[in-house]
């Protein structure tokens, strides 16, 4: 869809809702109602986390891409899998809390498995330990989305020697501080090692209480290898 065809007013309303305080159940209902317009509306704020994540994985992943099994969580409408397929990955499992987002992901024909599941520290993934060569958490660690304390679960389902890629906005917040502390704790314990950390200028446009700003915020992509 051409950007001139996007209902910017509707997009702004949904983006403001996205960055508002919501309980988990409200968040899921919101994504279900938004799924059909999600990709178009996110483009209004210049959202490119999937592209930045894919580019970083592409530069850092040294394993066999054709045989690698990728877990995409939360997979949303499948933007990350679309990008990874273009750089040689072929096997994708997706997990998301929104059934309608999963339906759109399914329609793209990229995933061998899609699971409706809300990941939290108290609701572990229905997956055996050490199952995946690559786990991507792109956009999901934003505030009001997946909790910061799911990283042990992402680590659990990754194979030894496998990689975990995550993205986050470079903003000061309690959520981000706890997330970064958890990441460093795993490094200190020798559970994983940093492969690359990429700082990205102009990550996406800033959201103000009045709508989308012209100014951009920065972001970070991290790729870590499980020991």
DSSP string, 38-100: HHHHHHTTT--HHHHHHHHHHHH--S-TTT-EEEETT-TTSHHHHHHHHTT--EEEEEES-HH
User: Beta partners for 200?
Assistant: 219
Confidence of residue 205 (pLDDT cuts 50, 70, 90): very high
pTM: 0.94
Q: Is the dihedral of CA 135, 15, 42, 117 positive or negative?
A: positive
Alpha helices in 157-192 (DSSP H): 174-188
Do the beta carbons of residue 212 and residue 12 sit within 8 Å?
A: yes
Could you read off the pLDDT of 113-165 as tens digits, one per residue? Answer: 999 999 888 888 999 999 999 999 999 887 667 887 889 999 999 999 999 99
Query: How far apart are the C-alpha atoms of 6 and 21, rounded to whole Å?
Result: 25
Do the beta carbons of residue 95 and residue 78 sit within 8 Å?
A: no
pLDDT at residue 211, rounded to an integer: 92
Confidence of residue 14 (pLDDT cuts 50, 70, 90): very high
Q: Has residue 74 got a pLDDT over 90?
A: yes
Instruction: List Cβ neighbours of 23 (8 Å cut-off, separation of 6 or more).
Output: none
Measured in residues, the chain has a length of 227
């Amino acid at each position: 869809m051409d950007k001139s065809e996007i209902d910017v007013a509707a997009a702004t309303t949904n983006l403001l809702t996205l960055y508002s305080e919501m309980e988990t159940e409200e968040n899921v209902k919101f994504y279900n109602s938004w799924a059909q317009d999600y990709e178009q509306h996110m483009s209004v704020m210049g959202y490119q986390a999937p592209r930045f994540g894919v580019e970083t994985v592409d530069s850092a992943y040294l394993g066999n891409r054709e045989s690698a099994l990728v877990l995409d969580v939360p997979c949303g409408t499948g933007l990350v899998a679309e990008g990874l397929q273009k750089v040689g990955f072929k096997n994708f499992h997706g997990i998301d809390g929104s059934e309608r987002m999963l339906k759109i992901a399914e329609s793209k024909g990229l995933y061998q498995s899609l699971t409706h599941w809300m990941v939290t520290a108290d609701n572990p993934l229905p997956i055996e330990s050490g199952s995946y060569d690559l786990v991507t958490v792109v956009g999901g660690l934003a505030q009001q989305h997946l909790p910061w304390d799911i990283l042990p679960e992402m680590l659990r389902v990754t194979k030894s020697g496998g990689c975990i890629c995550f993205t986050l906005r470079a903003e000061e917040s309690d959520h981000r501080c706890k997330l970064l502390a958890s990441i460093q704790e795993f490094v200190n314990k020798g559970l994983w090692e940093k492969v690359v950390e990429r700082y990205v200028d102009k990550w996406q446009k800033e959201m103000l209480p009045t709508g989308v700003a012209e100014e951009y915020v920065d972001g970070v992509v991290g790729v870590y290898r499980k020991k």
